[in-house]
Amino acid sequence: MAKQQPPQITDEQRRAALEKAGLARTKRAEMKALLQTGSLTLEEVFTEAEADDIVAGTKVYPLLVAMPGMGKVKAMRLMEACKIADNRKIRGLGTRQRVCLLDHFA
């Protein structure tokens, strides 16, 4: 069986994709930094996710770890309590899961 090759893209397409990915990483890092300082709330993140695909595509676990007073273990326990899978992204959260998270940080 032949090994599949990745799609062939031009150098220009590759540069554009790398730039887009870099901007997404930067935006996510800034968002997590604002969460850590308390300048941004989880509710504001959920609201922003409705309009911004980069925010909506952010995984929930790293966001929770960035919250003040939350570590890796507490974040995982909260996700289990709210019945959120560890690989879930913000756009994939259900209404009850969002309410559960918001209630915890209220």
Query: How remote is the C-alpha of 9 from its chain's centroid?
Result: 28
Record the pTM.
Answer: 0.81
If you ran DSSP here, which 8-state letter would residue 59 be given?
B
SS (H, E, C) 66-100: HCCCCCHHHHHHHHHHCCCCCCCEHHHCCHHHHHH
The Cα 98–Cα 42 span in angstroms is: 9
Does residue 7 surpass a pLDDT of 90? no
Average pLDDT, the chain: 92
Does residue 3 surpass a pLDDT of 90? no
pLDDT in tens, 74-101: 999 999 999 999 999 999 999 999 999 9
pLDDT in tens, 9-59: 888 999 999 999 999 999 999 999 999 998 999 999 999 999 999 999 999
* Other Cβ atoms closer than 10 A to 104: 15
Domains of the chain: 15-105 (1.10.8.50)
Longest dimension (CA), the chain: 55
Contact 97, 82 (CB under 8 A): yes
Contact 76, 86 (CB under 8 A): yes
Percent of the chain at pLDDT exceeding 90: 85
Does residue 8 surpass a pLDDT of 80? yes
If you ran DSSP here, which 8-state letter would residue 42 be given?
H
Does residue 71 surpass a pLDDT of 80? yes
